Every structure is written in C-alpha cells, then in structure tokens.
Structure 1
C-alpha cells in the first residue's frame, strides 16, 4: 500500500475554487514538491500585478511556485520533469496539459471538475448548470487525457442546487466537496482500489467560458429562465438590462405569477422589490446596480432613483 508521503506531488491550479483541494493536499501528508499557477495578472483600478489565490497559499506554506506563460514550452516541460512527479493534481489551472506532461508522472494526472461528468465539460460548469435550470450537480475526479474533460472518471459526488442559489454560492459548496472527493480519490489511489469508468460521449454537453454579453436579459423569455440566468451569472459577469440608455444590473430575483404587462414592463416598484413582466410570469428583483455604483436593495435603490410603473426595460 502506498504511503501519501511517498508521492511526489505537483499541484496545478489558479482561482479560489482550487484552494480547498490544495489545502486538502497540505493536510493529507503528500510530498508536495511544487505548485503551478497562472502568471500574476493586473488587478483593480490601479492594474497592479496580483498573485493568484493558489500562489498566495503556496507561498504561505513555502512551497516552490512555478508560473510559466505556456506550459508546453520546452523550458517549462523540463522544469517540471526535474521535479520528478509521481502525481499531478489539476484544479482550474487555466492551461491545457500537453501529452508530454500527461505522460510524465509515475502514477496519474488527476483533475477535479465541478460537474457530474460527462455533463458540462468545459470552463464554466457551475454557471451553465444553474442557467440550464439543473437541480443537481457535483464534482468528478478523472484521469486526464488530451481531450477537454474527456478522461476516465474516478469518483463522483453530487449535491442539490437550491432554487435561488447563485453560482457564487454553489461555487463555495462545490469547492468544499472537491476537497472531500480529492481526499477520497487519494485514499483509494494509495490503497490500490481506484476504479476507472469511461465517459459516455453521447451524454456530454459543453459549458463554455462566460462572457459579459451572456448577461443581457431577453424579457421575452420566461421568468424562470431569466431567474436562472441571473443567479447563474452572479457574481460574474452579472445579468443586465437597459434603463433608458444606462446599463442596469439585476440581482437577487424571485419568480412570481403576475404577468399583466408587456415583457420588460415594470409592474410595481416598492421596498419589496421591482416586479418586471416577462414572456411568461414575472420577476421580482431584489437588488439593482447602476454603472459605477454599489449594488443596492430595491428599497435603497428606489430612494435615489425612482422607477415608475409602466417603464420598459430594454434588451438592447
């Protein structure tokens, strides 16, 4: 039986979602010989270079950090080879691993993916599951291959999606679940009991990276579809509409049955929310935000910017 401390392990990840897995590795006793993360990026109004959350955690624990611009660069490949990895763990790293790296570790390259594969392969599985109105999602560990999230599955664990849960809230719960699934995967690896299951490509669907324009609301859609869009894009990139010539961000919505106006028409506006007619049903908006301003509750928003019944919110 393998001992965790005998596994020379390299971790590859970048955003906050990867932190739980890295913390789990630190607690597991594996020999963490290096952490790979994306290069520092400009952030904030000052556009100062900022380290990724994964880099910050690795530096705190004095683990060597590597930040190649391109992982497939021969110099980067050789630097990784010098670490002599037995195991490479990848969580939302942000670069595709070339075949030469996939073949490098003595055991496996294992990826943690935030969906119940083969559904929602790609960069934004959390957002897309909510936008599509899914009521269940989860985390899958898999053996990596050259395809996009197409490798053999190892362990899957599911959880329910709340009817008003946002992608930000679900992200945090899945990150915790990801840590648990990784720990279970490592235990089975060390015990020699891991079981590989091939993915059924016919059941797959793709979750592309979200773009700002994905947030534009089409009020002709049903209130349920728009509600799913709003929460699926919260906190980023956010759902929005147009109020006169201004972009108006929409958040914290609930579906209501009332639909007595043309889609996009404000039916009521008071401290309980701003109710907007949709193609089917209506949406009560609890929080709104104008450009350059903070997100405000409907009550606080209306105190500074009244919205009148009959006003039309536009999709262009």
Structure 2
C-alpha cells in the first residue's frame, strides 16, 4: 500500500485529502493548522476530515524542527503532499519521502508563483487560472509539473468565486495524476521560470482604492479582495467606505481630474480618474451595510469627491 504524510489546510486541503483516501492511499499523518484567532473561517476543516477517518492530526508551530523531521522520518512515507499548507517545507523534510514531495498550487504554473495566487490573478485582470500539481523544491513553486487544470475567470467573478473553481480543479488534477504517481509512470515537466512571476502575501491595507486608476482596474481590485477577504476601501464624507461588489458600466479611456461618487434612488456610480464608470452594487459606510438607495436618502445625490 502507498503511504503518505499530508500537510493540508483550507478547502483544497480537504478535497485533495479526500482524493487520496478514496484511492486507498494510507495517510499515516495529517499536518494542519490551528485556525488563527480573528480570521474569518469560511472554508472546510482538514482536521475534521482526519478525525472522520481516524487519522492522527497535528498542528506544529514549526514543521521544520529536527524533532518533527524525525517524527516524519519514522513514518517512512512514500509521498509527502502539501495541499494549501501555509508554511514552507524545508530541505530535510522534502528529502524524506521515498517517491517524492508534491504540492498543489492555485495557479497555472509558472504563472503566479508564491502567495494568494487567485487574488493576484484577478487583480491583474486574468481571464484564466487553475491548479497545478508539482514536485516541491527548496525554491517555492519551482519544481517539475506533473499535471494542471485550467478554469475560467469571468469578468465579475470575486476571489471566492474563483477559489471554488480552483478547488475543483485541484481535485480533478490530483485524481487524474494519482494513478500514475502510485504506479511510477507519471511524467514531470520542468518549469520555465522566465515565463512567470513570484508574488508575495497581501495585507488588508493593500485594499485601499486608488481612484486615479481606470474603472476596470479598480473593479479588479474590488472583486479580488471582496468578502470573505477584507474588502476594498476608501473614504467619503470623512467616513470609511468599504465597497464589496461593483460592475463596470462604462470604461471609455477619458481621464478625469477629480474622481467623483454620485447617487440616485436606484444606484451609486463612480466616475474614475483613469477613465470609465463603476456601478457600486454593495457597500458598507462606517462599518454599516447600506443600500445605494439609503445612501441617497441620507446624503443626497452628490457629487462626492474621492
């Protein structure tokens, strides 16, 4: 029987762990994370899946300590898998599995290596992303590719919409590749790293809107950081305004010196500095969800400079 140690978290972790179990892989240990205090937990629990199948699960602060490496060595795994585990696995761990260490990454490598690839792909206006199964090396997301599956990014998709597709793509990719990995017949292709870029983590403050940009660029930011992520934000009338969903209703190139918000009884719109018009579909003003019609009733039509 094929034996694996699985490092996993989030929905991709749940679905890919499920693929291994369905295929009869012996999962000797699941390594996951304790949910961070204050984080919005909108995804399924790897620990709960492990408990359902009576698989030991641990949550080490640092999986790369010599003591934990020896714990994994004693299990003598054929494979080590990482499915959306949030820490880098270093060389001593990667050297342990007899038949290789593999990671599932949420992009079409070599594009969007690094952190939060779904969010970055939307910010850059990509119309396609996917999931890639690849061998792990010390350099992140740089190992040979075993398989990948593309999914579309529609023009109004949020990051949560796309992440659900990527989760499905990850499950399909692993399900398709796993028989070859177990049989030892899987083919792996080197990456051309010159064709992609590496991207870092994002923080809540990166959601501040620059209204001098075009409507399409701002729309991409809004949908890339929409809930359950922290959201895109600005200020209006001296109050914090968080924009949760938008739609481009005019993207002509004419720039405007003064980006402006205006409302009527039906909708709020922004004339963007870089050209184009955004319709604001969902918003929060001063941490209170408010409909565009209510904004109009409280504050009038504007215009409100941004």
TM-score (norm 2): 0.91
In the alignment, the residues of structure 1 paired with residue 101 and residue 116 of structure 2 have an alpha-carbon distance, to the nearest angstrom, of: 21
8 Å contact kept, 1:263–1:276: no
In the alignment, the residues of structure 2 paired with residue 115 and residue 223 of structure 1 have an alpha-carbon distance, to the nearest angstrom, of: 25
Q: Which residue of 1 aligns with 2:237?
A: 244
Residues 24 and 195 of structure 1: CA distance in aligned 2, closer, same or farther (over 3 Å): same
Over aligned residue pairs, what C-alpha RMSD do you find? 2.2
Q: Which residue of 2 aligns with 1:277?
A: 271
Residues 230 and 104 of structure 1: CA distance in aligned 2, closer, same or farther (over 3 Å): same
In the alignment, the residues of structure 2 paired with residue 263 and residue 181 of structure 1 have an alpha-carbon distance, to the nearest angstrom, of: 48
Corresponding pairs, count? 301
Residues 142 and 260 of structure 1: CA distance in aligned 2, closer, same or farther (over 3 Å): closer
8 Å contact kept, 1:227–1:255: yes
Matched, 1:28 2:20: no
Residues 222 and 143 of structure 1: CA distance in aligned 2, closer, same or farther (over 3 Å): same
8 Å contact kept, 1:40–1:52: no
Q: Secondary structure at the match of 1:32?
A: strand
5+ residue gaps, structure 1: 1-5, 46-50
Residues 116-135 of structure 1: pairs in structure 2 closer than 5 A: 116-135=108-127
In the alignment, the residues of structure 2 paired with residue 143 and residue 254 of structure 1 have an alpha-carbon distance, to the nearest angstrom, of: 39
Q: Which residue of 1 aligns with 2:71?
A: 79
Residues 131-146 of structure 1: pairs in structure 2 closer than 5 A: 131-146=123-138
5+ residue gaps, structure 2: none
Matched, 1:226 2:218: yes
Report Cα offsets for 1:111-152 as digits up to 9, x if no partner: 000101011001110000000000111111000000011111
* Cα displacement (A) at 1:262: 4.8
Q: Which residue of 2 aligns with 1:298?
A: 292
Q: Which moved more, 1:193-202 or 1:35-44?
A: 35-44
